[in-house]
Chain A
Amino acid sequence: MSLLRKPWIWSFVAAGLVWFVTIMATGGASTIGLTQATLTFAAFSVIVGTGQMFVITLGPGNIDLAVPANMTLAGTVALKYMDTQDALILPGLGIAIGIGIGVGFVNYALIKALRIPPIIATLAMSFIIQSAAIATNRGLRIKPPDAMADFTTGLTLGIPNVALVALGITAIAWVLLMRATYGRQISAIGQSLPAARMAGLPVDGLRLATYVLCATLAAVCGFLLACFSGGAALNMGAEYLLMSIAVVIIGGTAVAGGDSNVPGIWGASLFMFLVVSMLNTYGFGAGVRLILTGLIIISVILLASGRQGATR
């Protein structure tokens, strides 16, 4: 069966299983509520995860650790600018995207001009962005414009709006990665940078575009998350550092780069949120919940590696 050979199918299977087990605990009472909550929270992981996936595709060592700080800064600055006025929503989104583009540019400038490994470059950058966010925020929690708050917490045809936004983004990302020249080119870079360079690909331009794309998606996600949660908080991006990496890897993207897939990010994001809510439903404490989350991540990786070994 060709479907079973897709690397992303397993994250969906796992998510479905956990969903079923959680529903069982409540006797099916919370099916719709759980599904909608899962789609909403998974959507945020999907958006940052998609950006991280493009960066990871570039090959070993490529990673963006500035994602959480970037989300916080974009959310903070945009909400401060919009100042709860509906009329300023579009410029506010524009500011968030502008921050993302700027951060992406500086990230790659550090990597390229100073030859700093991406982990350290984006880490140093995230310190600077975090400071900028603290300086702008000053502990104030500004509410989002009503229209944005309604949109991010609302439903369309029973599906959360943010999930629809994430779906749109992933659809574009899939076309970009699998069908567009750009995606094929960054996969080629991930498989072999020297070979891609020999083949005459504009390696630096492509890598720059990828870091900018990742930072922009993180900024958009920060904007949406700040509106969804009723204001930007300084630690709002924190959990997305590990999450953005985890959903990419669990989704079946090769850590070594050059072989990525978009659907798996959805499966993995749903799975990660469902695991937490399942453990909550069964009344586990914070400690046990963390331990089980970790063990599940490791088991998924072990299973995935066994699968690759079998087909090779």
Chain B
Amino acid sequence: MRWRPSPEALRLALPVMALAALLVSVFVMRPNVMGYNGLHLLFKLGIPIALATLAQMVIMSVNDLDLSMGSFVSFVACVTATWLVDAPLIGALMLAGAIAVYAALGMVIAARGLPSIVVTLGMSFVWAGLAVLVLPTPGGTAPGWVAAVMGARPALMPVGIAGSILIAVLAHLLIMRSSFGVLIRGVGGNERSVSRAGWSVLLARGAAYATAATFAVASGITLVGLMTSADANIALRYTLLSIAGVILGGGEFTGGRVSAIGAVVGALTLLLAGSFLTFLNVPPDWQIGAQGMILILILALRLLLVRLERRGARA
């Protein structure tokens, strides 16, 4: 019997190939990036972006969408740069409270059948307002332990890459291999059958939202560790970046079809696309536009791959 890759592996192949292609192009253009320091700078912001993308992925696995991701991560960053430094206990309680709010939101959305887009849209105003209240002007400092962890220089690979791999593996085990992960993806796949099987959809959604919030909190904390200060708008672009990362990594908006490793790879691809365009000497005016084109290009390739996958299934 001939070995044929599983659909999941095939789905993952594209984002991985896109990341590899971008990386090779960057190496060709700037050979001196190929060392420890070059890679360190290239993937420096990888960990917070990967964590925010995973948070969005967990929300998307229950068929919802979080439009407040960017302002929530900004809020967490503001709390981290102020309260977590001055009064660690109160800061930690605030972050725990924020996670509890997310869990409550998930349950309210499940109980009343509300559209997640609108609820999180409203919440994006709330988090933005809280961030402004916590830190009215840009500033603050990173807590010592966060700065120490994010500034570490592991022996084999830069912290951005090592951290991303670690996060991807942990999230993969949690979402794809644990019974909890199966439950929340089941809610995304077929809510009714999950509840018929005796599970509480209410609690499952609440738990999914709490998990997502935990990832997002980690994203905000690590972001401050890298930037060493915060402001209320520090991560606003994470909302759209995280959605694009999940889709790029092979996830779908519906049906609980997500991939944790894919999401991390998708996030890193978008991150690398920025540096790639700078190295290409794309004029600054067209940088955002070129990122849009890269996104379209990769999704077009995915369509091609899905067609091949179908043909393979028929044969």
Q: State the A residues within 8 Å of B (CB).
A: 60-61, 65, 110, 114-117, 119-121, 123-132, 134-135, 242, 245-246, 249, 255-256, 285-298, 301-302, 305-306, 309
Contact = CB atoms under 8 A, between A and B. Distances in A.
Given A287-B130, A295-B126, A246 B293 contact: no
A291 B296 contact: no
B289 A123 contact: no
Contacts of A120: 243-244, 247, 295, 299
A294 B295 contact: no
B114 interface: yes
A287 B290 contact: no
A130 B118 contact: no
A249 B118 contact: yes
Nearest to A249: B118
A126 B130 CA distance: 28
A8 B113 CA distance: 20
Contacts of B292: 123-128, 131
A293 B291 CA distance: 32
Contacts, number: 136
B288 A294 contact: no
Contacts of B123: 294, 298
Given A124-B292, A127-B288, A290-B126, A301 B253 contact: no
Contact of B289 (A127, A302, A306): A127
B133 interface: yes
A116 B124 CA distance: 26
B176 interface: no
A292 B126 CA distance: 7
Given A246-B118, A294-B126, 5 more contacts: A131-B286, A249-B115, A249-B117, A298-B119, A302-B108
B124 A124 contact: no
B303 A114 contact: yes
Contact of B119 (A128, A287, A301): A301
A123 B136 contact: no
B82 to A, nearest CB: 14
B243 A119 contact: yes
Interface in B252-308: 253-254, 283, 285-293, 295-296, 299-300, 303
B147 interface: no
B243 A302 contact: no
Interface of B: 65, 67, 108, 112-115, 117-119, 121-133, 136, 240, 243-244, 247, 253-254, 283, 285-293, 295-296, 299-300, 303
A120 B126 CA distance: 25
Nearest to B240: A123
Contact of A117 (B127, B240, B253): B253
Contacts of A309: 112
Given A110-B296, A131-B290, A297 B118 contact: yes
Contact of B117 (A126, A255, A295): A255
A12 B95 CA distance: 37
26 contacts: A115-B303, A123-B243, A124-B295, A124-B296, A127-B289, A128-B292, A130-B289, A131-B289, A135-B285, A242-B121, A249-B115, A249-B121, A255-B115, A287-B133, A290-B125, A290-B128, A290-B129, A294-B122, A294-B123, A294-B126, A294-B127, A294-B129, A301-B115, A301-B119, A302-B108, A302-B112
Nearest to B241: A123
Given A123-B240, A289-B129, A301 B285 contact: no
A309 B288 CA distance: 44
A291 B125 contact: yes
Nearest to A289: B129
Contact of B296 (A114, A292, A294): A114
A291 B130 contact: yes
Nearest to B289: A131
A60 B63 CA distance: 11
A292 B132 CA distance: 13
Contact of A132 (B112, B289, B300, B303): B289
A301 B112 CA distance: 10
A246 B132 CA distance: 22
A116 B303 CA distance: 9
B126 A128 contact: no
Nearest to B63: A60
Contacts of A294: 122-129
A61 B247 CA distance: 14
A121 B291 CA distance: 12
Contacts of B303: 114-115
Nearest to B135: A287
B118 A134 contact: no
Contact of B253 (A119, A125, A288): A119
A110 B117 CA distance: 23
Contact of A114 (B112, B244, B299): B299
B115 to A, nearest CB: 4
A119 B119 CA distance: 17
A88 B67 CA distance: 40
Contact of B133 (A125, A249, A288, A293): A288
A226 to B, nearest CB: 19
Given A117-B253, A287-B132, A294-B124, A131 B118 contact: no
